[in-house]
């Protein structure tokens, strides 16, 4: 999406649709700010949900185990609920299992895969989908201006979904660059530590 507002609207619309058919939804965010943003959007839309982030860690295990209930909506930051399985309630498998909605791509592909892996565990059905806007941190770091210019020339509307292979490649390149940069930082720290 061109903007975070358009992305948020698309996520909320899909969450409502999945919730109404009884499919549980886990909304993955990569920061507390982002989870608070989606909490406010879901509250405004009148969708009852649970929020799992560092602010309510004492209820973490309870919230994540209940995330597989029929029609449940749970917002979780990338580290929340690790090590706790999401058990699907009776009737949920027939509705498609757990739906994972990533609200942006993380700097590391490994974290994206971990979020995606929360769905479809041990042979259960499930699905995952990531939503990205050109205003997201990862995109703004690596040339979202060029992509925005191309989108303007191709007359993309504000809320229009962009599903093009070059967008996926652009995201993968950005993630790869960040991963390489983080690796070189860790390598330098190890060299300094050896001294």
The answer to whether 26 and 86 have CB atoms below 8 angstroms apart is yes
Q: Among 23-32, 93-102, 182-191, where is mean pLDDT lowest?
A: 182-191
The pLDDT confidence band at residue 93, using thresholds 50, 70 and 90, is: very high
Q: What percent of the chain has pLDDT over 90?
A: 37
Helices 109-116 and 165-194: angle between axes, nearest 10 degrees: 120
The H-or-E segment that residue 174 falls in is: helix 165-194
pLDDT of residue 16: 97
The pLDDT confidence band at residue 143, using thresholds 50, 70 and 90, is: low
CA 52, CA 8: separation in Å to the nearest integer? 18
- Mean pLDDT of all residues in 1-5: 87
The pLDDT confidence band at residue 114, using thresholds 50, 70 and 90, is: confident
CA 29, CA 97: separation in Å to the nearest integer? 20
| Whole-number Cα distances in Å, 187 to 28, 117, 121, 190 | 30, 29, 34, 5
Sheet with strand 126-130: strands edge to edge: 50-52, 73-77, 25-29, 98-102, 126-130
> Is the pLDDT assigned to residue 128 strictly greater than 70?
yes
């Amino acid at each position: 999406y061109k903007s975070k507002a358009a992305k948020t609207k698309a996520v909320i619309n899909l969450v409502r649709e999945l919730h109404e058919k009884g499919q549980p939804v886990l909304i993955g965010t990569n920061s507390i700010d982002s989870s608070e943003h989606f909490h406010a959007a879901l509250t405004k839309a009148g969708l009852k949900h649970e929020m799992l982030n560092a602010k309510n860690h004492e209820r973490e295990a309870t919230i994540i185990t209940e995330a597989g209930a029929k029609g449940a909506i749970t917002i979780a930051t990338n580290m929340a609920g690790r090590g706790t399985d999401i058990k699907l309630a009776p009737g949920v498998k027939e509705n498609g299992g757990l739906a994972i909605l990533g609200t942006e791509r993380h700097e590391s592909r490994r974290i994206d895969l971990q979020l995606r892996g929360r769905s479809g565990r041990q042979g259960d059905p499930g699905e995952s989908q990531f939503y990205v806007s050109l205003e997201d941190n990862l995109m703004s770091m690596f040339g979202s201006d060029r992509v925005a210019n191309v989108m303007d020339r191709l007359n993309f509307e504000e809320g229009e979904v962009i599903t093009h292979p070059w967008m996926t490649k652009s995201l993968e390149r950005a993630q790869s660059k960040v991963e390489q940069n983080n690796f070189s930082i860790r390598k330098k720290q190890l060299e300094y530590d050896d001294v």
